[in-house]
Structure 1
Amino acid sequence: MQILKFKRWAAICLFLSGLAHAGELRVFVKDQHAKPVGDAVLLLTPVDPSKMPRLKPKDEVVDQIDKEFMPYVKPVVAGSKIFFPNKDNVRHHVYSFSPTKSFEIQLYSGKSAAPVVLDKPGIVVLGCNIHDWMLGYIYVADTPYFAKSKADGTALIEGLPEGDYQIRIWHPGMGMIAGETGKQVSINDESTGQLNWQINVKPVTRISRKNSSQGPGY
């Protein structure tokens, strides 16, 4: 019994120690007009490749609600399975012709169709063959350290081991390039770093949404 208690105590201490030795980076993103930028993806990559942990793919979800992709921008780690549940009362036909991942999910409604595995880093643009205005983006990351900025322009990347990192940023208004690379940042254990980043973003061209005059089921 004493041995079991000791092992349990040791496991708890190890877990808490792992939490205590993790830093974080808070980034404020603004555009060329000094306005906050939401939906920007921030990524940190260890400068020392040997410190890159093994990626842990997850099951992720991009909803279809009110004939829109939710969320508009979704960062995921490479290898993740993406489910596309349809919560509308009409059918959708999801597709992507992106070099990162080309796929097509035929007309369906209700629960999600079979998931799509995104095993290659890059940008995936989503569309719907039925509703032309529907547009969404998935950023497939090659690092586990990433976050997306909120509407107020803030993003928090947590759980960062001590060390030096290369930081990147991407936003739909930057086009289909992999993103802009910034300066290296150093992370110390149990600390929160602060970074302001101004980017140039262009308006994203979107097809105007059609109204209900198209008839029921559209």
Structure 2
Amino acid sequence: MKTRARLPAAPRVGRAKAAIGGLLALLVLALPAAPAVAGDIRATVRDRDGKPVADAVVVVVPSGGAAGAGTPPGVAEEDQRNKEFVPYVLPVQAGTRVLFPNNDNIRHHVYSFSPAKTFELPLYSGTPTSPVLFDKPGVVILGCNIHDWMVGYIYVSESPHFAKTGADGKVTLGGLPGGDYTLRVWHPRLEGSEQATAQPLAVPSTGAVDAATTIGLTPDFRARRAPTPGRGGY
């Protein structure tokens, strides 16, 4: 009678190693992800009289010159309410598209002749279907061809690390990789150049660093708001 040859059994050591390897893989997947290492900048902007400056844009750029990766630019809004641009200062990253909704019950004619972005939105109400692309860093001054006092600013940043001060002149830029940076400040009434405000800053890998900037402000030469005849829905 012929007997069927048996296949050799797998070594027990090999099976044990495979089981341990699988268990370790499951344990690694179950462990919580390590928190991201990043630091914050607590910035304060004041004028020469020591008063807080609102609507100042604080920008930080790595000292190496590369702007670094950030959230991909999306879509922002520059509203028109009560015959004013809202917000007065809108900081965005280069590559951002901006919508210009008109929430007044009259029509506006928005335009800019700034080198960073020249465009025109003829008389309209509601929200234009296509946003405007701001792809070049710089300052864009907005105006309305109907209401002379309407002035607004879009600050287009080359860096993803920027923010605007509140009424207390303060703002926090969070989530920056630790390292050496250059901090700059811009304001619509800034006396002198933005580059003159540059200061080096070392951001810790964890925790926060304080940065104080004093700037001079020029007089506010905005046109005085005046009543406009309500003819033709303007």
TM-score for the superposition, normalised by structure 2: 0.82
> What letter corresponds to residue 63 of structure 1 in structure 2?
D
Residue of structure 1 equivalent to 2:131? 115
Distance 2:164 2:144 in 1: 24
Can you give the 5+ residue segments of structure 1 that lack an aligned partner in the other structure? none
Residue 32 (str. 1) matches residue 48 (str. 2): yes
Change (3 A) 1:8 1:204: farther
Superposition deviation, residue 97 in structure 1:
0.2
TM-score for the superposition, normalised by structure 1: 0.88
Distance 2:71 2:223 in 1: 36
> What is the RMSD of the two structures over their aligned residues, measured on CA atoms?
2.4
Distance 1:51 1:136 in 2: 26
Residue of structure 2 equivalent to 1:66? 82
Distance 2:162 2:109 in 1: 29
Residue of structure 2 equivalent to 1:43? 59
Superposition deviation, residue 56 in structure 1:
2.0
Change (3 A) 1:6 1:145: farther
Q: Is the 8 A contact 1:83 1:116 kept in 2?
A: yes
Can you give the 5+ residue segments of structure 2 that lack an aligned partner in the other structure? 1-22
Computing the radius of gyration from Cα coordinates, the structure with the larger value is: 2
Residue of structure 1 equivalent to 2:164? 148
Residue of structure 2 equivalent to 1:85? 101
2:173 aligns to what SS in structure 1? strand
Q: Deviations over 1:184-215 (max 9, x none)?
A: 10011221111221100112311111125x23
Residue in structure 1 matching 2:197, options 181, 193, 198: 181
**Matched positions, count:** 211
Deviation >3 Å, runs of 4+: 2-10, 175-181
